Structures are given as structure tokens and as C-alpha cells.
Amino acid sequence: MNHLDKLENKSIHILREAYANFKNLCMLWSIGKDSTVLLWLARKAFFGHVPFPLVHIDTHYKIPEMIEYRDRLALEWGLDMIYGENREALDKKLTYPDGNATRIECCKLLKTEALKNTLNGKWPRYRLNHAKGAYEIDSNTEPYTGVIVGVRADEEGSRSKERYFSPRDRNSDWDIGDQPPEFWGQFKTDFAPGTHLRIHPLLDWTELDIWEYMKRENIPTVSLYYDHGEGKRYRSLGCWPCTFPVESDAKDVDGIINELKTGKFANIAERSGRAQDKEDGGGLEELRKGGYM
């Protein structure tokens, strides 16, 4: 097996272990490259069928192409697609674009609080009705006790402290000092009642691995990742007021792989275009302790 085969096999093993050991699982789909690779792996792991719902936290400030891509793939692949939102914060305009919150405060409201309350079933969820091609309020309010996430250890400092099976408390709060050891491919899947779990099948993947795998598997992705003649593209996707492109002339996956292999971004963080990281001092650890993705 080559390097990508080994990564794929381990990720598929983690996905199957999660499904075998935990009830009421869901998978986060942020629509970016990592979570889309994760979705592809889930389809492989379960022979074309994803046996748990996909959850997207919609801040309503995502770049429009991202939402179009989400709904198109959900319909084409027959995905059980759900989204959650912080409707109260949006209605009261407690957001950074409205000038009533800092970027970090906006993230806490539109992402962290929306995620936690979508997972625990306290806020309405919206499920895609495939027959109508539209979203409707989901009648199922049962909490998700585990969520599969496309986190990579190399992407950002706090993510490197995660485990494949990472426990949270009932409020999704993360105690970094209370992480189970994971040695020699042995994973802890027995947790106390009430533990909320984050599962990270992509933890050992790198940015280059993701793009090389996307090329090998011919995985469709958002065109925002490619230069369209402006000499710029997005390297990491988020909300449009806080996400900025990098200089690049990569017009396809091969161009992106070449940039990464030649060290174009060797001294530039992958999330350097995500303004909330800078406002938080360059890290997301405090946000993630409180339940952020």
C-alpha cells in the first residue's frame, strides 16, 4: 500500500469503529476540502451509503457557491442533509458584519452556540426534503451523542491536541488535559454516560495529502479553491466577511499540489486568510474549548 492507501484505510477503520460503538452519530460537513474528503471516505466505508446525517452550521454568511455546492451534492448523492443556525442572533443582528459584535463574538454565536444547540436538539434543525428539494423543520430533536469532524492536526495548533476519539462533557466543553491515550492503534471507545464525543478520522492527514487524495479519487469540490484569472484563490473556506484569498495561479488540483510541493506556502499558515484566527491571537483553542468546530 502507498501512503494514501494507508491513510484511507485508517480513516475508514475509525469511521466503522465509531458507527459500531456509538449511537446517534452525525457528521459535520463544512463544505470545505477536508470535510468533503471525510464525506467521500464515509461513502467508501459504508459502500456508497452514509448511515448518519450530515450537519452543516449555516451562519448565513457563507460564500453563496458553498451553499449551492452543498445542496447539489446532497441531492445527487442522496445525503441526509441537516443544517442548524442561531436564528435569534441573526434576527437581532448580533453579528460582526452588522457591526454589533467582534469577529470572535460572532463566531461564538453563529458557530459555537449554533453547533452546540443543533447537536443537543435544543434549537430547530432543518432537514432536506429530497422530494421537494427544500429544507423543512426536522421533527427529530434527539441529541447527537457523537459527531464526526474533518479536523487535521497540522491545520492549526489546538487541533494537534485532539485524539481520534475525543471526549467532551454534556455541554460540548473540551478539557484538553483529560484526553485518553491512543497508543499503537488502540482507541478508547468506552466513555461514561453523558459524554459527548468528537471523532476525527483525518487527524493524521496533511493539506497535501488531502489534495493528492482528491486528485486520485476525482472528488468534486468548490471552484473557490481555484484561480479564475485574478491571481487569487481561497485556501481555507469560511464566512465571506472574514475569509480572504491568497495569491495563487493554481487553476486546478494539479496546480494546488504543485504549489504545496514546491513550498509556496511553507511559511504561511493554512488558515492565514481566516481573520478570526488573527483576532484570537492566532489560535482557536479558547473557542474550541467551548465547543467550536
pLDDT in tens, 262-279: 999 988 888 777 776 665
CB within 8 A of 171, min separation 6: which ones? 116, 196, 291
Cell 504549489 -> residue:
259
**Which CATH code for domain 3-205+281-289?**
3.40.50.620
Phi, psi values for residue 239, rounded to 5°: -80, 145
Percent of residues, the chain, with pLDDT higher than 70: 90
Reading the block at residue 179, the C-alpha cell is 484526553
- Cα–Cα distances in angstroms (integers) from residue 132 to residues 68, 80, 135, 186, in the given order: 16, 14, 8, 44
- Please state the rounded mean pLDDT for residues 26-37: 96
- Cα distance between the two ends of the chain: 32
pLDDT tens per residue across span 209-249: 999 999 999 999 999 999 999 999 999 999 999 999 999 99
So where are the chain's domains?
Answer: 3-205+281-289, 207-277
Indicate if the pLDDT at residue 280 is higher than 60.
no
pLDDT tens per residue across span 99-137: 999 999 999 999 999 999 999 999 999 999 999 999 999
By CB neighbour count within 10 A (0-12 exposed, 13-18 middle, 19+ buried), where does 270 fall?
middle
What was the pLDDT predicted at 282?
47
Alpha-carbon span 244 to 21, nearest angstrom? 40
At 158, the pLDDT band (50, 70, 90 cuts) reads: low
What was the pLDDT predicted at 279?
59
pLDDT tens per residue across span 164-194: 998 887 666 777 777 777 777 788 888 888 8
Alpha-carbon span 74 to 238, nearest angstrom? 19
DSSP state of 231: S
- Please state the rounded mean pLDDT for residues 147-173: 79
Torsion angle, alpha carbons of 186, 200, 210, 28, to 10 = 150
What value does the mean pLDDT of the chain take? 90
